[in-house]
Amino acid sequence: MVESMRILAIDASGGAVSACVTAREAVEPLARESMTMQRGHAEALAPMIERVMRGVEGGFSSIGRIAATVGPGSFTGIRIGLASARAMGVALGVPVIGVSSLVAYVGELLLEPGAGVIASAIDARHGRVYLQVFEASGRPLIPARLATIREAARIIGAGPARLAGDGAHLVRAEAALLGVAAEIVGETVAPDIAIVARLGLIGDPTQSPPRPFYLKAPDAIQSMDSSIARAET
């Protein structure tokens, strides 16, 4: 496969369904589409991929790699996106690479020099966020973790901090209470699908397999466990 291969990137891990095709040497995606939604990812993703691929000369046969976000995020959305990516990978005979949703949210920031740390925060509900923090140079300061909003604000330190992710507003508000300077400068609804594609192009599929990246159990399981615990007391 030539190095100028095209990649199909898809994301259904959060508050949008997105797909795009780009090439290693391309400045802009060859085709892209994104639709903000909280539900209905399964019904929206396949038709969207079809529309995107119709806008690309050569169609599916021109694709040399597929990238999909692996989470953390919506359990249902992650499964839908990865199942679609793996199925297409098998059908086309091309590698599939997983891209962290946390890294995808701040991908553009990691490429832009700036003061202070970079934090990616995804709303995990119930007063918690999925969090990963990077130096301005892009080097990870902490691995991805599940944290309370107060813990997240403390982890980013004294500031300044640049935030992205659909939980960024929660961390910024808490940071303000602690006197920490933080601003939201990245994506806040869903990762930029073009960034997912770029990360997929530079990554190694053998090192980043398309497996779900969960940092907590699904809410339904947690609720069931809580009910069982109450019944046993």
**Total count of domains within the chain:** 2
pLDDT at residue 225, as a whole number: 43
Co-location of 113 and 91 in the same domain:
no
Instruction: Give the distance from CA 65 to its chain's centroid.
Output: 18
SS3 142: strand
Are residues 165 and 123 part of one domain? yes
- Are residue 10 and residue 85 in the same domain, yes or no? yes
In the block, which residue shows the tokens 């509900």? 125
Which two tokens mark 94? 């091309």
Assigned domain for 223 exists: no
The bridge status of strand 128-134 relative to strand 140-148 is: antiparallel
Assigned domain for 225 exists: no
Domain shared by 172 and 64, yes or no: no
- Looking at residue 113, its pLDDT comes to 73
Q: Are residues 10 and 95 in the same domain?
A: yes
| Partners of 69 in the β-ladder | 99
Do 60 and 174 lie in one domain? The reply is: no
pLDDT value, residue 83: 97
Is residue 187 a contact partner of residue 73, using CB atoms and an 8 Å limit?
no
At 218 the pLDDT is 62
For residue 224, tell me if it sits in a domain: no
Domain boundary among 160, 184, 208: 184
Hey, what are 213's tokens?
Answer: 């990246």
- Inside any domain, residue 58: yes
108 and 138 Cβ atoms separated by less than 8 Å:
no
Q: Are 219 and 76 in contact (CB under 8 A)?
A: no
Identify the CA nearest to 68 among candidates 54, 48, 56, 86. Answer: 86
Q: Is there a single domain that holds both residue 37 and residue 78?
A: yes
Alpha-carbon distance of 15 to 36, in angstroms, equals: 6
CA atoms within 13 Å, Cβ hemisphere of 69: 32
Q: Which CATH number goes with the domain that contains 126? A: 3.30.420.200
pTM of the model: 0.89
pLDDT beneath 70: ranges in the chain = 1-4, 217-233
Residue 1 domain-assigned?
no
Q: Which domain holds residue 153?
A: 107-184
- 53 shares a domain with 95: yes
Residue 231 lies in a domain: no
**DSSP reduced 3-state for 3:** coil
In this predicted model, what pLDDT tens digit does every residue of 74-98 receive, in sequence order?
999 999 999 999 999 999 999 999 9
